[in-house]
Amino acid sequence: MKPLPRRHSLIAETAAVLRQRLDEGEWSLHLPGEMELAALLQVGRNTLRSALAIMEGEGRLLTSKGSRRRVVPLSKNVPAGKRAVLLMAKPEREFPPSTAQWIEGTRARLESEGWTFRVSIEPEIYRGDPELRLKALTNTLPGTIWILHRSTPAMQRWFQDRGERTILAGSRHEGMLLPQVEIDYRAVSRHAAGRFLSRGHQRLAILRPEGLFAGDAECVAAFREGAGRADVIELRSRPGTIGVMEALRPITRHLHSVTGLFVLHADHCVTALTFLQQKGISIPGDLSLICREDAPYLELLCPEPARYRHRTTTFSSRLASLVMRYDDKTAGKRRPALIMPSAIDGATLAASPVLK
C-alpha cells in the first residue's frame, strides 16, 4: 500500500510522503496536477500547495507557468562529495528565527564554495525506528554529508553505526562520537547558576521539556554543579502552553519555595513569565528568572528576560567549515565545536526576596 500523510502535522507529513514517493521513483518526470495529487494524497489543495512549496524550496521540484511541476533528479544532478543535506523534524519557520538565520548562513557559505546544500523535512525519522527511511535517503544520495538537527538517540546511533558522513547541528547523546557544532549550554548553565547565587538565591528550579533533547539533561547536571549546595528542583513540562503551566503550578502554590527559575527554551520563557505574573507572582520581586536561549521576541516582553545570546554567523561559519573539511579518519575524534554566548542582563534577575 502506498503511504498517505498522517494527520498530526499535515503539511510536513504531506511533504515527507511526496519526498518518499519521489525517492521511490513513482513520478520520474512530472507530478500529477494539483487536483489529482490532492485526491491521491487525501489532503486539501491549500495543504498540498504548502507542501509543494517546501519541496520547491528544497530543490526537488521546478515550477513553470502553464505546465505541471517537474521532478528534479537530485541523485544525478548533484555532484557527490560536495553535497550536504540538513535533516529536520519540521520546517525551519516553526523554530526560533535564529535557526533560519544559521541555516541560510550555512547555505550561502557552502554554495559560495561550489557545494550543494538542501534541507530535508523528515518528521517520520524522528519517531520510533528510523532505519527504513534513513536507508532510502542515504542509498538515494551517496556521498552526502548529513547534518542532523535536534536528532534523537536512534538517529545518531544509526548514522554512527552505519559510518555515514555525519555532523550534528546540536548536542550528542550519551555514547555518541559524531562531530558537532553546538552552543556551550553546559557552560551557560553553570554561569546561570552563579548569577543566581551571587544574588543570594538558594532555592532554585530548572524548567525543561520532557523528551529527547540531548543537551537538556546535560544542562540540568551542569546547573546543579554550578548551584553547589543550593536546593535545585527539576520541573518537566509536557509539550505546549498547558504543559508548561502545569509544570509551574508547584511554584504558584508555595510562594518562595523557589526564588530562582532557569528556563531552557525561549518559547517556554514567554509562557512562564506571563503565567507566573498572571498568578500574582512578581518578577523579579518574588521570583527571578533566567532563560538559557535568546529569541528576538524576548526583548519585547516586560520585564525583559535575563538570557544568553550567540551570533548565528559564528554557528553557520563553524558548521560550514566542518562540512567542507570533513575527514572520515578523524571525524569521530574531533573535539566539539562549542560556542559560548554572551549574557544579557535583562530585567528579571534581582536579589533573593528571602534576604530582603
Q: What is the CATH code of the structural domain delimited by 79-183+316-339?
A: 3.40.50.2300
Q: Which amino acid does the sequence have at 178?
A: L
Same fold, 79-183+316-339 and 185-309+342-355: yes
Distances (CA, A) of 156 to 66, 186, 209, 261: 43, 20, 20, 31
Per-block average pLDDT, block size 10, for the chain (356 residues)? 55 82 74 89 90 80 77 58 88 81 92 88 86 86 90 93 94 89 94 97 95 80 96 93 95 88 95 96 96 93 95 93 85 78 96 80
Query: How distant is the alpha carbon of residue 191 from its chain centre?
Result: 22
Q: Which grid coordinates are listed for 80?
A: 557527490
pLDDT at 67: 74
pLDDT at 76: 45
pLDDT at 196: 98
Q: Which amino acid does the sequence have at 334?
A: R
Q: Which CATH fold would you assign to the domain 10-72?
A: Arc Repressor Mutant, subunit A (1.10.10)
Q: Which CATH superfamily is domain 185-309+342-355 in?
A: Response regulator (3.40.50.2300)
Burial (CB count within 10 angstroms: exposed 0-12, middle 13-18, buried 19+), residue 112:
exposed
pLDDT at 181: 94
- By DSSP bridging, strand 307-309 and strand 342-344 are antiparallel
Q: Look at the pTM and tell me if it is higher than 0.75.
A: no
Domain ranges of the chain: 10-72, 79-183+316-339, 185-309+342-355
Q: What DSSP string describes 67-134?
A: SPPEE--HHHHSPTTSEEEEEESS-GGGS-HHHHHHHHHHHHHHHHTT-EEEEEE-GGGGSS--HHHH
